[in-house]
Amino acid sequence: MDFSLNEHQEMVRDMVRSFAEDRIRPGAGERDVSGEFPFDIIREMGELGLLGMMVPEAYGGADMDVLSYLLAVEELARVDASVAVTMSVTNSVCCWPILTFGTEKQKERYLRPLASGEVIGGFMLTEPSAGSDAASLTTRFRQEDDRYVLNGSKAWITNAGVGRYFVCLATEDPSKRAHGISAFILDAEQPGVIVSRPEEKMGLRSSKTSMVTLEGAEVPLDAMLGERGQGFKIALATLDHSRLGIAAQAIGIAQAALEESVRYARDRRQFGRPLIEHQAIAFRLAEMDTELTAARQLLHHAAWAAGRPGRHSRESARAKLYASEMVNRLVAWAVQIHGGYGFSREYTVERLYREARVTTIYEGTSEVQKMVIARALTTEVT
């Protein structure tokens, strides 16, 4: 068993790390306050191939493996989780399902602009009354001559207002639950797509998230993704993939929390010596390092599973569950180590504390991840 990264993966990690340090870190704190979306940075990331990382070169992508993508997400999140989520959403819930379930024509048409960063992508599943119970969604579609027409409300849509192409789930009959749902590639640049004011979020403040109302939104017939009635399976397979990105985001935030804590514990003196020479603090840092490494190994194992044929729902759920719960413990400890300074906006750990919070919630709560894992257990144990 070899735990090392290959040369290519190391190169991607190093390249993203230096881009994140040079271009993203300088304005991260300011953007957190202003909520300004970093269009320039996202465009540059497109030029670097970071928005279509797993898209083959034939469609303008960087043609990289899942682990390279996850390393990139981690490096971005270590510096600015808002940028990381904008990037991971475009890669994993927009490019990935189009690549996996799309027709040749759809791949040619939608992946190229997404992979180059010309446009940003997203995913419209959640609704005001359909969160964890995703099959209860009520956004309706009907066919009208040469197009589908969609009506309903989508909630918590990341990249709404800044993105153009969205994989959108809608039903032809809510009573059919999962089996009535189809997936569409929706172009948000049309009058039938109405984006509300961005949500005022606790963290990830410079990534944009809004409610979207579909009022007669039109989708051409050839922009249905996969077969009619297969949308729910497409959505869940997409989430199996995208949850890896959220785990990577959690790991990046945790890495930053650990680094900030070690630095602070080395510099800050109390009772005549640096904090790190107090066993209570040193042991806490050791626990942080261990939990972080455990989460990373679980994620890399899930990335390996994702590269194999068949479903990897349970591996993704475990990685996302553990990493997101882990980061919330770590950021709380990081704030504690910083004492009063950790409660101040002047210190990065305050932002990390807020950024971490959503990771146990979006792309499936911790409770949903446990449902996925527990269901696998019930069928596995005889």
Q: How far is the CB of 132 from ligand COS (least distance, A)?
A: 5
Using the minimum distance from each CB to ligand COS, give the nearer residue, 171 or 313. 313
Pattern of binders to ligand COS over 111-130, x per CB under 6 A?
--------------xx----
Using the minimum distance from each CB to ligand COS, give the nearer residue, 121 or 364. 364
Instruction: Give the Cα separation of 47 and 193 in Å (integer).
Output: 28
Q: How far is the CB of 363 from ligand COS (least distance, A)?
A: 5
Instruction: Give the Cα separation of 174 and 150 in Å (integer).
Output: 14
CB neighbours of 257 closer than 8 A, spacing ≥ 6?
Answer: 288, 327, 330, 331, 333, 334, 349, 352, 356
Cβ-closest position to ligand COS:
364
Do residues 346 and 274 lie in contact, with contact meaning Cβ atoms separated by under 8 Å? no
Pattern of binders to ligand COS over 16-45, x per CB under 6 A?
------------------------------
Among 5, 332, 371, 376, binds ligand COS (CB under 6 A): 371
Instruction: Give the Cα separation of 109 and 377 in Å (integer).
Output: 41
Residue found under tokens 């039938």: 192
User: Judging by DSSP bridges, how do beta strands 165-171 and 121-124 pair with one another?
Assistant: parallel
3-class DSSP state of 165: strand
Catalytic residue (choose from 57, 189, 363, 380): 363
Per the annotation, the verdict on 363 as an active-site residue is: yes
Interaction of residue 364 with ligand COS, rule CB under 6 A: yes
Q: Which stretch binds ligand COS (CB under 6 A): 110-118, 298-306, 324-332, 360-368?
A: 360-368
Using the minimum distance from each CB to ligand COS, give the nearer residue, 154 or 338. 154
Q: Quick one: angle between helices 231-267 and 279-306, nearest 10?
A: 150
Pattern of binders to ligand COS over 284-313, x per CB under 6 A?
---------------------------x-x
* Residues numbered 310-329 forming contacts with ligand COS, rule: CB under 6 A: 311, 313
Closest CA to 91 of 13, 158, 150, 27: 158
Among 114, 185, 186, 239, binds ligand COS (CB under 6 A): 239
Closest CA to 45 of 102, 85, 7: 85
Do residues 24 and 83 lie in contact, with contact meaning Cβ atoms separated by under 8 Å? yes
Do residues 93 and 258 lie in contact, with contact meaning Cβ atoms separated by under 8 Å? no
Using the minimum distance from each CB to ligand COS, give the nearer residue, 240 or 315. 240
Interaction of residue 237 with ligand COS, rule CB under 6 A: yes
Q: How far is the CB of 233 from ligand COS (least distance, A)?
A: 4
Instruction: Give the Cα separation of 97 and 139 in Å (integer).
Output: 20
Q: Which stretch binds ligand COS (CB under 6 A): 96-104, 233-241, 253-261, 336-344?
A: 233-241
Instruction: Give the Cα separation of 156 and 149 in Å (integer).
Output: 21
Instruction: Give the Cα separation of 36 and 65 in Å (integer).
Output: 31
Q: How far is the CB of 252 from ligand COS (least distance, A)?
A: 18
Q: How far is the CB of 89 from ligand COS (least distance, A)?
A: 9
List residues with catalytic annotation. 363
Binding site for ligand COS (CB under 6 A): 125-126, 132, 134-135, 178, 232-233, 236-237, 239-240, 311, 313, 362-364, 368, 371-372
